[in-house]
Chain A
Amino acid sequence: MGQSAPPRMPVVLVVEDEPLQRMMAADLVEDAGFDVVQAWGADEAIRILETRSDIRIVFTDVDMPGSMDGLKLAASVQDRWPPIQIIVTSGYFRLADIDLPPHSVFFSKPYQHEKLTAQLRKMAAV
């Protein structure tokens, strides 16, 4: 979905293991005017990030199966691709419970679509 879009649209990588929620997030990202790339887990997200250089924002869930959860993914993205901006979301954790990488933003699930859209646009404008 949108992987071959023209490069002038900023690209957002949505990482979410729950298909319905991933679908909703992808729609939201597209409706906000971005190109979207989807991954069902952190490992896949890393593989995608390693193969393409046009991703501007990673929007990831925290609680996911696999060798890495969303927080580790965020830390790893911060470390390896510092220009990429990060939005983290979770239904289990609250902001107070987790250790976010600097400059990343947290949204508690369920999130408000308007606020998330505004956040994406703000990040893309920087």
Chain B
Amino acid sequence: MTQEPFTDNQVLDRRLELLEAYNVLNTPAEPEFDDIVLIASEACRTPVSLVSLVEDDRQWFKARIGFEACETPLDQSVCAHSLSSPDLLIIPDLALDVRTRNNTLVTDDPHIRFYAGAPLVSPEGIAIGTLCVIDTVPRPEGLDASQRRILTALARQVIVHLEARRLSHRKDELFKRQKGVAANIRADAHRNMAAQEAGRIGTFEIDIATGTVSTSPEFCRIFDVPVASTYPTSTFEAMAIDQGIQSTDATRADGSALTDVEYRIKTPLRGIRWVSRQATFDRDERGRPVTMRGTAQDVTFQKRSVLRVQALLDLGDRLRELDAIEDMTVAASDLMGKALDAVRAGFGIVDYASESIVIHPDWHAPGYPSVAGRHFFRDYGAIIGDVNAGKTVAISDVGADLRLADRAERLIGLGAKAIVLVPILDHGRFNLMAFVHFDEPRKWTDDELNFVRNFGDRVQSAIARRNAEAEQALMNREIGHRLKNSFAMVQAIATQTLRPVTERQHVTAFQQRLFALSKAHDILLNEQVGAPFGAIVASLGETLGMEGRLLAEGPPVMLGSRGALSLGLLLHELGTNALKYGAFSVPEGIVSAKWVVDGSGTEPMLRFSWSETGGPPPKLPTSRGFGTKLIQMGLIGTGAVTVSYEPPGFSAKMSASLQQLQQAN
């Protein structure tokens, strides 16, 4: 640790520089440093220990035990005194020492009295702070030899940790800077490319009679043909991918060719490009078109960004309406491939058990084979490591990428000369892979890569949502089944328990009510969300064997589980009464069950009526049994029931809040 003597200011500057380089000030607590103060206070038997870093106006504590403030102004700092001492600074009684007796930490709360600090000296020989121990009682004996050694050693440990973080900090910085530079270069390149493409306007003039087109050099470059002054129109017509949009001999001759069109061409080297073409006709004295002249512009860049946005919008709609995972990936592949003008696009699901990816039916341009099926990790060569680690692999030129080695040939054979593989993680695990293939080497733009990632993420979340729903449905079914079996058990226990009961009608009534409840559960179980009102009424008709004589009429209304169970029991009572005393007790009686939703009040109400006709003259019930009580409680136990025992038969009207009936619980 040799060093030139520094002036005080130089020392301060170096110290501040170092603190800056360590990048430690104002960072959260870290266990390495916390452990050090813990050991120091234990070893020295002091209530307080601090790792204090001294700046120009304050001391800040990287680690502290037994001390509340995380920093103090420099005039309260005892540590500042120990910076200038190369060894331990020990002050047995701070109240007696001239340097500290006026320090407010000594004169006021927390009334510290004993201090021992070991300077934190960097490898350059600069003290940046101290590791100190503090007590609130003076300690004339100071520290013993072992405690001194420990404190000094621990101070060195603090520096070791700080040095380690300085190194990693430096590496991070370097790395970040490199990444920044690379990203800037890339962005510049893309901007230039786009600007160049956007600026390219070619001109042409077609002599309609001969079918010859005079072309500007820029026009030739747009169509990726050698620069020449004339070409037959067929040269360019042959490049069109979407037939019928470009002009033809016939449409030029009669002047019906569209003058303002956008179409795709397949260029020899630059793949699929979008061309915007505008033209006018020059006519002869009889009005017949003689020449067609105009401009052509490469609008691939703009067009694709529009298509990508549109594809993302469409994807949202498609995923919402699909249930099966494969339908989702097929729809997404189609949208993704077309929006990118790729030759192939698709998705694969990772199967870890067999270290493979199962590619779902992909989208492929006409003339290109599908790659659907199982592909083993080893088939991907060296790139699978990156994919597995969640990194996007974008290869601009398959033939030139060393990682693919002997696999490149097979890919090129499939028409995949530029590929991108995007792994989509589910809870940090590689689960879904999106891929896109192009038939010519190309530079992948960040926009395109983000687009593929975005597609993958959305498909992944749709899959996750669907899986969760399927799981929920399965669970509901299982719970429902258990419930039904529990009903069967209750039935068995009750039957056995009530066997000695001589008044059988009570036992029967119980069994039938249990059955009515179980039927309502059945209906809830069969439906995904709640139970239809009509189904519960129909189930009663079936149970009583009165299907033709229970006339149900009302709009489709879904009930929540509470409403459904309550209605099930209520209808059972109405039905049994009708069977015993009312319309169902004679062959010609009819019951009409009607319900409507009444939205005229402050909240929508469901109004239900039960009217019997054709039965014997109705009689007031003589006793108020459970059944009568159940009826009086109404649709959901809130009453609002009127019953009538006037001819032509028993009737009951009841209403309840629709919202309450539809509540899930």
Which residues in A have some Cβ–Cβ distance to B below 8 Å?
18, 20-21, 23-24, 27-28, 91-92, 94, 108-110, 112-114
| B-chain residues with CB within 8 Å of residue A110 when the two chains form the complex | 484, 487-488, 490-491, 514-515, 518
Task: Let me know if B9 is at the binding interface, CB within 8 A.
Answer: no
| A-chain residues with CB within 8 Å of residue B495 when the two chains form the complex | 24, 27-28, 113
A91 to B482: give the CA distance in the assembly, Å.
Answer: 8
Binding site secondary structure of chain B: helix
A92 to B487: give the CA distance in the assembly, Å.
Answer: 12
Residue among B491, B492, B515, B518 having the largest count of chain A Cβ atoms under 10 Å: B492
| B-chain residues with CB within 8 Å of residue A94 when the two chains form the complex | 526
A21 to B492: give the CA distance in the assembly, Å.
Answer: 5
Which B residue sits closest to A28, measured CB to CB? Answer: B495
Which B residue sits closest to A16, measured CB to CB? Answer: B492
| A-chain residues with CB within 8 Å of residue B508 when the two chains form the complex | 113-114
Contact: B481 with A91, CB < 8 Å?
A: yes
Contact: A18 with B489, CB < 8 Å?
A: yes
Which residues in B have some Cβ–Cβ distance to A below 8 Å?
481, 484-485, 487-493, 495-496, 499, 508, 511-512, 514-515, 518, 522, 526, 543
Contact: A109 with B485, CB < 8 Å?
A: yes
Contact: A21 with B499, CB < 8 Å?
A: no
- Between-chain CB contacts (< 8 Å), 5 pairs: A23-B492, A91-B484, A94-B526, A110-B490, A113-B495
| B-chain residues with CB within 8 Å of residue A27 when the two chains form the complex | 495-496, 499
Which A residue sits closest to B507, measured CB to CB? Answer: A113
Which of B496, B514, B515 interacts with A20 by CB under 8 Å? B496
Which B residue sits closest to A118, measured CB to CB? Answer: B545
Which A residue sits closest to B526, measured CB to CB? Answer: A94
Contact: A112 with B515, CB < 8 Å?
A: yes
With both chains docked as a complex, state the minimum distance between the C-beta of B309 and any C-beta of chain A, in angstroms.
46
Contact: A91 with B492, CB < 8 Å?
A: no
Which of A23, A28, A92 interacts with B484 by CB under 8 Å? A92
| A-chain residues with CB within 8 Å of residue B515 when the two chains form the complex | 110, 112
Which A residue sits closest to B491, measured CB to CB? Answer: A110
Which of B481, B511, B512, B543 interacts with A92 by CB under 8 Å? B481
A108 to B488: give the CA distance in the assembly, Å.
Answer: 9
Contact: B484 with A20, CB < 8 Å?
A: no
A28 to B499: give the CA distance in the assembly, Å.
Answer: 11
Q: A110-B487, A110-B514 are in contact. Are A20 and B493 (CB under 8 A)?
A: yes
Which of B488, B511, B518 interacts with A21 by CB under 8 Å? B488
Contact: A24 with B485, CB < 8 Å?
A: no
With both chains docked as a complex, state the minimum distance between the C-beta of B95 and any C-beta of chain A, in angstroms.
84
A91 to B499: give the CA distance in the assembly, Å.
Answer: 23
Contact: B489 with A113, CB < 8 Å?
A: no
Q: A27-B499, A91-B481 are in contact. Are A112 and B543 (CB under 8 A)?
A: yes
| A-chain residues with CB within 8 Å of residue B518 when the two chains form the complex | 110
| B-chain residues with CB within 8 Å of residue A114 when the two chains form the complex | 508
> Across chains A and B, which 8 residue pairs bring their CB atoms closest together, nearest first?
A109-B488, A91-B485, A110-B491, A24-B492, A20-B492, A91-B484, A110-B488, A21-B492
